[in-house]
Amino acid sequence: MASYDVIILGGGPAGYVCAIRCAQLGLSTAIVEREALGGTCVLWGCIPAKALLESAALANKIRHAKDFGITVGDVSFEYGTAMKRSRAVSTQNSKGVEFLMKKNKVTYLKGTAKLTGPKAVTITGADGKAEKHDAKKAVVIATGSRVRGLPQAGLALDKKVVLSSDEVLVLEQAPKTMAVIGAGAVGCEFADVFNAFGTKVTLVEVAPTILPLEDADCSAEVAKSFKKRGIDVHTSAKIGDVKVGADSASMTVEVGGKKETLTVEKVLVAAGRAPNVEEVGLKELGVQLTERGFVKIDERFETSVKGIYAIGDVAGNQMLAHKGQREGHVLADLLGGAHTHPVNYKNVPSCTYCHPEVASIGLTEAQCKEQQLDYKVGKFPFSANGRARTSGETEGFVKIIRDAKYGEILGAHIVGPHATEMIHELVVARENEYTVEEIDLAIHAHPTLSEAVAEAVLDSMGKMLHA
């Protein structure tokens, strides 16, 4: 039995960042992980998916190589090779996290953890042997979330025909046909990937728009781009009559009262995730859950049981790696007695890495209307941006929503090339309460994509220059 100041259950972005920061503050820290360090983000989410999206982007770029004066010979697109590269990138990142644990003198305990007391943890290794450890200061639940199917619709995950994002990450080849159920970030990203590798993709979403959490203008722009590339997009859709066979599945898709039958080799269910709260010992200790099944926490991340905390996906709110990382950092500061700022959940950027990319911060225009805010909109298309023209990536725009009276940035939305990198100028601006006038005062280099931000700001003030 070993004793630590802090024991963290889960080695994903929330857990490992919390562990590093706790160690930096002089707390003896252990982290428990049953698979490999890095969590869903590194192993089965952000990192491998983005590696595949890079392959997809290159595949699409090669298709237009002649436009850039480059003639290529016979080209084949091999999903299996791209998949193996993505797994290698994932493994490299996981080893990087393991190195960070050693560097910061965090003890890595490999196994499955269960709470056996308010500050007691039993860890069972792959060999079945159990070890007991205790935490003098805190136990942190950072067990993350997992994929889920839609058994109520007949789409339980069988890992052969009906797949989650986990299984598609290790397919040896791209199927000829695929239905993607759910057009949030995950659904749109994998629709992009498989379309690039030659799969006939049908994207099905129950909401009126794809990327339903994004600004409606951004959703419409991505839908237009997808349709142009041959992806069938169905919104406000209902599926029924699902039949799953040994090597294919069929279903009806109803849109606007019209039904059509869809038969595909694979179905990707991308309709949300479930928190990992089972078999951790939470119920036995009386740790309360929310109505949606997440661990209930207060403003200091503490659960209903003193000394037990929760961060990351398992604690709900935005299920985003960077949100979990910030929670881990802030909680560690609280445990270590360092000065900290609370997490600003209203300023967490949202990013979707399909092509064109989508990134946003703050309110959508629909939310501004719902809140009856007095606002103005500025918008600038990448088709009028010199740098976008040089790269041939002219889809999309920058959209700024500002307070009409004071110029405060209420929301910012980018759809287009490198949107997920460009959004951070606006994240910093909102975090520091900069106005559009202050962004205008910052000289943006020419030619850059970021000039589109400056021009959208100018448009919101009624003085756009280049369009």
Question: What is the band of 336 on the pLDDT scale with cuts at 50, 70, 90?
Answer: very high
Question: What is the band of 116 on the pLDDT scale with cuts at 50, 70, 90?
Answer: very high
Mean pLDDT of 23-39: 96
Which residues, other chains included, contact 89 with Cβ-Cβ below 8 Å and sequence gap of 6+?
47, 48, 51
In this structure, what DSSP letter does residue 365 have? H
Instruction: Please name the amino acid found at residue 117.
Output: G
pLDDT, one tens digit per residue, over 450-466 is 999 999 999 999 999 99
Between CA 259 and CA 361 the distance in angstroms is 37
**Helix/strand/coil percent split, the chain, to 5:** 35, 25, 35
Residue 101 tokens read as 């644990």
Which residues, other chains included, contact 30 with Cβ-Cβ below 8 Å and sequence gap of 6+?
2, 4, 6, 7, 8, 19, 106, 107, 108, 109, 133
Between CA 103 and CA 230 the distance in angstroms is 48
Check residue 438 and give its pLDDT: 97
pLDDT, one tens digit per residue, over 355-411 is 999 999 999 999 999 999 999 999 999 999 999 999 999 999 999 999 999 999 999
Which neighbouring-strand residues pair with 120?
117, 134
Mean pLDDT of 330-351: 97
With 90 as the cut, is the pLDDT of residue 112 above it?
yes
Question: What is the band of 118 on the pLDDT scale with cuts at 50, 70, 90?
Answer: confident
CA angle 446, 217, 58 (to 5 degrees): 60
The answer to whether the beta carbons of residues 219 and 209 sit under 8 Å apart is yes
User: Could you give the residue numbers annotated as active site?
Assistant: 446
Specify the long-range contacts of residues 107-110, CB closer than 8 Å, at least 24 apart.
Answer: 107/2, 107/4, 107/28, 107/29, 107/30, 107/31, 108/11, 108/30, 108/31, 108/33, 108/37, 109/30, 109/31, 109/32, 109/33, 109/133, 110/32, 110/33, 110/34
Question: What is the band of 1 on the pLDDT scale with cuts at 50, 70, 90?
Answer: confident
Between CA 126 and CA 348 the distance in angstroms is 37
CA angle 222, 223, 226 (to 5 degrees): 85
Q: b vs e for 435-447, b when ≥16 Cβ sit within 10 Å of the residue's Cβ?
A: bbeebbeeebeee
pLDDT, one tens digit per residue, over 142-187 is 999 999 999 999 999 999 999 999 999 999 999 999 999 999 999 9
pLDDT, one tens digit per residue, over 420-435 is 999 999 999 999 999 9
With 90 as the cut, is the pLDDT of residue 188 above it?
yes
Which residues, other chains included, contact 74 with Cβ-Cβ below 8 Å and sequence gap of 6+?
none
Q: Prior bond to 447 cis, omega within 30?
A: yes
Which residues, other chains included, contact 63 with Cβ-Cβ below 8 Å and sequence gap of 6+?
none
Between CA 172 and CA 378 the distance in angstroms is 45
Q: What's the chain's average pLDDT?
A: 97
- Please report, rounded to a whole number, the percentage of residues in the chain having pLDDT higher than 90: 98
pLDDT, one tens digit per residue, over 213-224 is 999 999 999 999
Instruction: Please name the amino acid found at residue 262.
Output: L
pLDDT, one tens digit per residue, over 225-251 is 999 999 999 999 999 999 999 999 999
Specify the long-range contacts of residues 158-163, CB closer than 8 Å, at least 24 apart.
Answer: 158/244, 160/246, 161/244, 161/245, 161/246, 161/247, 161/248, 161/249, 161/265, 161/266, 161/267, 162/244, 162/249, 162/266, 162/267, 162/269, 163/266, 163/267, 163/268, 163/269
With 90 as the cut, is the pLDDT of residue 70 above it?
yes
H or E segment to which residue 354 belongs: none
- Report the C-alpha dihedral over residues 304, 308, 314, 315, rounded to 10 degrees: 50
Please state, in angstroms and as integers, the Cα–Cα distance from residue 348 to each residue in 9, 181, 185, 300, following that order.
24, 26, 15, 18
Check residue 162 and give its pLDDT: 98
Check residue 28 and give its pLDDT: 98
